[in-house]
């Protein structure tokens, strides 16, 4: 019985050894290059064992050319047999494109869903720009994907896996000497900032859904941020961020809303950027940062807004509200203006009406001093606006009647400027200082109304004078006509 078991075990071992030998023989018969290099135990052949191309049956010759079926090294590496050796520079892209740009190979043979225009996109991207050698593009496929150990993007060990891609990009973009050669103005701390961002922290913790380089910049077709087609061109940034942040299902679990893009689009900033194409208007990155993207905290919101609205921020920092907001841990600008859905700052935000933001905290019995100041400031700015409109109407009427009113019309700009300054001065929350600005505007409107009224009075005077002159001339003409007729009749009577 023991002999039978021993012979059975020998048979099983023989089958396993025979299978391995057959498999090795099969590989060797099909790819002598690989068999030889595996025997040498070199790094490329070791890496290639796990390469996605090896798993799909590709041989060394598919990339390097030559004859993989002969053991004769000279015959295998004969250029007449198509041997090209190690592709370099643009040759790498061409070698990859032979398959990756071919529908018969990628679609029909391998049933791949990968796009066929990757090489074309790379050639028109920033990485496809001519390198300093003048002979090849800056980057080739292997710079990002590797050469012999290429893995699927979903493989955790892949260099282009979502969790590894930032490090892959950083190999060049964090190299000061390398980047100085190609783009001296481009910062080299992008990866460090990314690691500190909310996206980077999640990525490092293993969250593959968090945004990484390719999510924002793309992969093969990366364009300069100055290119209007780029996904990170200012007018395109909201839509780029919105790919993730507007997807309620994708954002589920992060505890943040998914309506930010919708709100931004109809905000004063969104209208200026997306409709009026004002590149000075902020997109998402202007407030949240680029590679160091993170939601502004309570302390930093005013600093972020103050980057553009410097005078408003300075006035607020010296106002009585600064201390009150700090005590209640309220974000400064956002409390009154909102964040993504910031509306145009009109007079209705000021005052004690139901629409006014002041009434949220100030009432006749609650914070009455602020209530009185808000009410008085609203009355002042309403008066300025009504007086400005009245002056504009008078100037327009005088101009329509043909009166020379250009000087008064020019002065209207000062009234308009005073009204704009008053809206800025609101942030001081000082009624006296606010009144000084408004009074300056009221003084201008008074002068303009006086000049426009004088022009209209002159128009009436001229019309009256013209009427009287016309009447006098008419009487004179009629009198002359009658006198001439009288003479003619006398002459006619004398002739008879």
Residue 246's φ and ψ, nearest 5 degrees, are -105, 0
- Single residue among 222, 255, 285 that ends a domain in this structure: 222
The answer to whether 195 and 161 are in contact (CB under 8 A) is no
pLDDT band at 30 (very low <50, low <70, confident <90, very high): low
pLDDT band at 9 (very low <50, low <70, confident <90, very high): very low
pLDDT at 439 > cutoff 50: yes
Mean pLDDT of 213-227: 96
pLDDT at 335 > cutoff 60: yes
Mean pLDDT of 24-44: 75
Residue 183's φ and ψ, nearest 5 degrees, are -150, 80
Mean pLDDT of 397-421: 92
CA–CA gap between residue 348 and residue 44 (Å, rounded) = 71
Mean pLDDT of 22-48: 75
pLDDT band at 25 (very low <50, low <70, confident <90, very high): very low
Total domains in the chain come to 2
Q: Mind listing the pLDDT tens digit for each residue in 88-120? A: 999 999 999 999 999 999 999 999 999 999 999
Q: What is the pLDDT of residue 486?
A: 85
CA–CA gap between residue 450 and residue 408 (Å, rounded) = 9
pLDDT band at 362 (very low <50, low <70, confident <90, very high): very high
Question: From the CB of residue 349, how many other CB atoms can be counted at a distance below 10 Å?
Answer: 18
Which of 8-17, 44-53, 182-191, 278-287 has the weakest average pLDDT? Answer: 8-17
Helix axes 368-400, 406-425, angle to 10 degrees: 160
- pTM of full prediction above 0.85: no
Top-confidence residue, 167 or 485: 167
CA–CA gap between residue 394 and residue 401 (Å, rounded) = 11
The structure tokens listed for 335 are 């409390």
Residue 185's φ and ψ, nearest 5 degrees, are -80, -15
The verdict on residue 452 lying in a domain is: yes
pLDDT band at 391 (very low <50, low <70, confident <90, very high): very high
The verdict on residue 40 lying in a domain is: no
Top-confidence residue, 182 or 15: 182
Q: What is the pLDDT of residue 13?
A: 39
pLDDT at 10 > cutoff 80: no
CA distances from 456 to 6, 80, 388, 444, 450 (A): 124, 98, 18, 18, 10
Q: Range of 425's domain? A: 368-462
The verdict on residue 197 lying in a domain is: yes
- Single residue among 169, 187, 222 that ends a domain in this structure: 222
pLDDT at 142 > cutoff 60: yes
pLDDT at 191 > cutoff 60: yes
Mean pLDDT of 419-427: 93
The structure tokens listed for 348 are 């209705």
The verdict on residue 94 lying in a domain is: no
CA–CA gap between residue 194 and residue 190 (Å, rounded) = 6
CA–CA gap between residue 408 and residue 422 (Å, rounded) = 21
pLDDT at 7 > cutoff 70: no
Residue the block writes with tokens 């997306």: 274
Q: What is the pLDDT of residue 21?
A: 39
**What CATH number is attached to the domain comprising 419?**
1.20.140
CA–CA gap between residue 264 and residue 268 (Å, rounded) = 8
Q: Mind listing the pLDDT tens digit for each residue in 263-300? A: 999 999 999 999 999 999 999 999 999 999 988 877 78
CA distances from 259 to 256, 262, 277, 301 (A): 9, 5, 22, 20
The verdict on residue 316 lying in a domain is: no
The structure tokens listed for 173 are 């973009």
Q: What is the pLDDT of residue 392?
A: 95
- Percent of the chain topping pLDDT 70: 94
Average pLDDT over the chain, rounded to an integer: 89
Residue the block writes with tokens 């200082």: 433
- Single residue among 175, 206, 222 that ends a domain in this structure: 222
CA–CA gap between residue 352 and residue 359 (Å, rounded) = 5
pLDDT at 139 > cutoff 70: yes
The structure tokens listed for 236 are 């395109």
The verdict on residue 332 lying in a domain is: no
Q: What is the pLDDT of residue 6?
A: 44
Q: Among candidates 312, 308, 258, which has minimal Cα distance to 283?
A: 308
Q: What is the pLDDT of residue 26?
A: 43
pLDDT band at 133 (very low <50, low <70, confident <90, very high): confident
CA–CA gap between residue 103 and residue 106 (Å, rounded) = 5
**Beta bridge partners of residue 137, listed in sequence order:** 130
The verdict on residue 408 lying in a domain is: yes
The verdict on residue 247 lying in a domain is: no
Q: Among candidates 79, 114, 84, which has minimal Cα distance to 100?
A: 114
Question: What is the SS3 assignment for the chain?
Answer: CHHHHHHHHHHHHHHHHHHHHHHHHHHHHHCHHHHHHHHHCCHHHHHHCCCHHHHCCCCCHHHHCCCCCCCCHHHHCCHHHCCCCCCCCHHHHHHHHHHHCCHHHHHHHCCCCCCCCHHHHHHCCHHHCECCCCCCECCCHHHHHCCCCCCCCCCCCCCCCCCCHHHHHHHHHCCHHHHHHHCCCCCCCHHHHHHHCHHHHHHHCCCCCCCCHHHHHCCCCCCCCCCCCCCCCCCCHHHHHHHHHCCHHHHCCCCCCCCHHHHHHCCHHHHHHHHCCCCCCCCHHHHHCCCCCCCCCHHHHHHHHHCCCHHHHHHHHCCHHHHHHHHCCCCHHHHHHCCCCCCCCCHHHCCCCCCCCHHHCCCCCCCHHHHHHHHHHHHHHHHHHHHHHHHHHHHHHHHHCCCCCHHHHHHHHHHHHHHHHHHHHHHHCCHHHHHHHHHHHHHHHHHHHHHHHHHHHHHHHHHHHHHHHHHHHHHHHHHHHHHHHHHHHHHHHHHC
């Amino acid at each position: 019985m023991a002999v039978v078991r021993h012979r059975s075990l020998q048979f099983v071992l023989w089958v396993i050894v025979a299978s391995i030998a057959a498999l090795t023989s099969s590989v060797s018969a099909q790819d002598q290059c690989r068999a030889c290099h595996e025997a040498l135990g070199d790094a490329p052949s070791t890496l290639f064992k796990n390469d996605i191309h090896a798993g799909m049956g590709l041989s060394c010759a598919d990339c390097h050319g030559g004859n993989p079926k002969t053991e004769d090294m000279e015959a295998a590496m004969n250029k007449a047999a198509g041997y090209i050796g190690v592709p370099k520079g643009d040759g790498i892209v061409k070698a990859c494109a032979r398959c990756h740009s071919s529908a018969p190979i990628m679609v029909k043979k391998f049933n791949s869903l990968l796009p066929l225009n990757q090489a074309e996109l790379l050639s028109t991207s920033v990485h496809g720009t001519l390198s300093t050698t003048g002979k090849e593009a800056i980057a080739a496929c292997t710079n990002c994907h590797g050469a012999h150990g290429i893995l699927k993007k979903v493989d955790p060990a892949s260099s282009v896996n979502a969790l590894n891609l930032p490090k892959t990009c950083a190999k060049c973009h964090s190299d000061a000497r390398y980047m100085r050669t190609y783009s001296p103005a481009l910062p080299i701390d992008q990866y460090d900032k990314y690691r500190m961002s909310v996206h980077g922290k999640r990525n490092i913790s293993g969250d593959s859904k968090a945004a990484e380089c390719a999510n924002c910049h793309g992969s093969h077709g990366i364009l300069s941020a100055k290119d209007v087609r780029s996904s990170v061109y200012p007018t395109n940034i909201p839509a780029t961020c919105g790919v993730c942040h507007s997807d309620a299902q994708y954002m589920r679990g992060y505890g943040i809303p998914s309506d930010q893009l919708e709100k931004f689009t109809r905000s004063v900033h969104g209208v200026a950027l997306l409709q009026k194409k004002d590149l000075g208007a902020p997109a998402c990155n202007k407030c949240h940062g680029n590679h160091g993207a993170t939601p502004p905290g309570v302390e930093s919101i005013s600093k972020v807004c103050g980057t553009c609205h410097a005078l408003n921020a300075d006035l607020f920092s010296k106002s009585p509200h600064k201390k009150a907001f700090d005590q209640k841990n309220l974000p400064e600008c956002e409390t009154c203006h909102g964040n993504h859905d910031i509306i145009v700052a009109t007079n209705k935000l000021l005052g004690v009406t139901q629409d006014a933001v002041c009434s949220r905290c100030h009432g006749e019995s609650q914070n009455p001093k602020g209530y009185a100041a808000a009410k008085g400031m609203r009355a002042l700015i309403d008066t300025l606006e009504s007086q400005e409109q009245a002056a504009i109407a008078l100037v327009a009427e005088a101009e329509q009647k043909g009166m020379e009113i250009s000087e008064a019309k020019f002065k209207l700009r000062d009234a308009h400027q005073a009204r704009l300054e008053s809206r800025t001065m609101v942030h001081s929350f000082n009624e006296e200082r606010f009144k000084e600005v408004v009074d300056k505007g009221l003084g201008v409107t008074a002068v303009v109304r006086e000049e426009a009224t004088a022009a209209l009075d002159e128009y009436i005077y001229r019309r009256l004078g013209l009427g009287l002159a016309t009447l006098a001339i008419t009487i004179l003409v009629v009198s002359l006509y009658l006198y001439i007729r009288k003479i003619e009749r006398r002459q006619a009577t004398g002739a008879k």
